[in-house]
């Protein structure tokens, strides 16, 4: 795995000043509290006759406690500590977008357009790919998709769908 250290020249962001542990701790407390609160809306029951909310409630409570412990134990930002790595927005948007596009276009357009657009989008997530190489890669995978999944494995997925 590559080094994900933050670029040293970047000015310290809010995330850097808080530190990974405190952000993580806050996230855990919020998640745990929501899980426990929702669990209360299911029937709790007693230890002898547990309801559906019993175990999730304790998972949530424990998450809050562990989150608090992580927050307290966080030793602040140290000299030479690696900050939160900068998020590669282009990569994130393109990769997550590619999955969502595949799901939506798969239903409304069929396998061929879904594959082409998803692979093209994902490939564009890397700055090393040009639109041309991305389109070539996408075309190649469309052919592979049709041969392997449609003809080979007989997957129930229309090649083209209209609406």
Partner 1 sequence: MEQALADLLYGFGVALQPANLMWVVIGVVLGNLIGVLPGLGAMTTISMLLPLTYVIPAVPAILMLAGIFYGSMYGGAICAILLNLPSHPPHAVTCIDGYPMTLNGRGGAALGVTMMASFFAASVGIMLMVFVSPLLEAVAFKFGPTEISAVMLLGLLAGSTMARGSPLKGIAMTLFGLFLGSVGTDVSSGIQRYTFGLPDLADGVDLAALSLGLFGIADFLLTVDRREVSTTTTRITMRQMMPTRAELKRSILPMLRGTGVGAIFGAMPGTGPTITTFVAYALERKISKSPDRFGKGAIEGVTAPEAAAHSKTQIDFIPTMSLGIPGDPVMALLLGALIIKGVNTGPQLITEHPDVFWGLVASFWIGNLLLIVLNVPLIGIWVRLLRIPYRFLFPSALFFIAIGVYSTHNNVFDILLVAVFGCVGAIFLLLEFPVAPVVLGFVLGPMLEENFRRAMVLSRGDLMIYLERPISATFIVLCLALVLLQFYSYLRVPPSPRPARAMH
Of residues 123-142, which lie at the interface with partner 1 (CB under 8 A)?
123, 125-129, 133-134, 137-138, 141
Q: Within positions 40 to 59, which residues make up the interface with partner 1, using CB under 8 A?
A: 42-43, 46-53, 55-56, 59
Angle at 87 between CA 86 and CA 92, to 5 degrees: 165
Q: Within positions 22 to 41, which residues make up the interface with partner 1, using CB under 8 A?
A: 23-24, 27-28, 31-32, 35, 38-39
Q: What's the CA gap between 163 and 153, in Å, rounded?
A: 25
Site for partner 1 (CB under 8 A): which residue of 92, 131, 147, 152? 92
- Residue that the structure tokens 């449609």 belong to: 150
Query: 50 in helix, strand or coil?
Result: strand
In the structure encoding, which two tokens stand for residue 121, read together?
């989008």
Report, in Å, the least distance between residue 124 CB and partner 1: 9
């Amino acid at each position: 795995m590559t080094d994900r250290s933050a670029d040293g020249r970047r000015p310290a962001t809010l995330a850097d000043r808080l530190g990974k542990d405190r952000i993580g701790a806050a996230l855990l407390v919020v998640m745990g509290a929501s899980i426990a609160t929702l669990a209360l809306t299911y029937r709790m029951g007693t230890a002898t006759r547990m309801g559906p909310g019993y175990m999730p409630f304790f998972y949530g409570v424990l998450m809050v406690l562990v989150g608090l412990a992580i927050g307290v134990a966080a030793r602040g930002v140290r000299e030479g500590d690696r900050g939160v790595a900068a998020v590669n927005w282009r990569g994130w948007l393109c990769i997550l977008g590619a999955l969502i596009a595949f799901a939506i276009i798969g239903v409304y357009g069929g396998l061929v357009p879904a594959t082409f657009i998803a692979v093209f989008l994902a490939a564009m997530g890397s700055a090393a790919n040009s639109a041309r190489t991305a389109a070539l890669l996408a075309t190649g995978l469309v052919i592979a998709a049709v041969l392997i999944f449609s003809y080979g494995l007989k997957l129930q997925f229309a090649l083209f769908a209209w609406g």
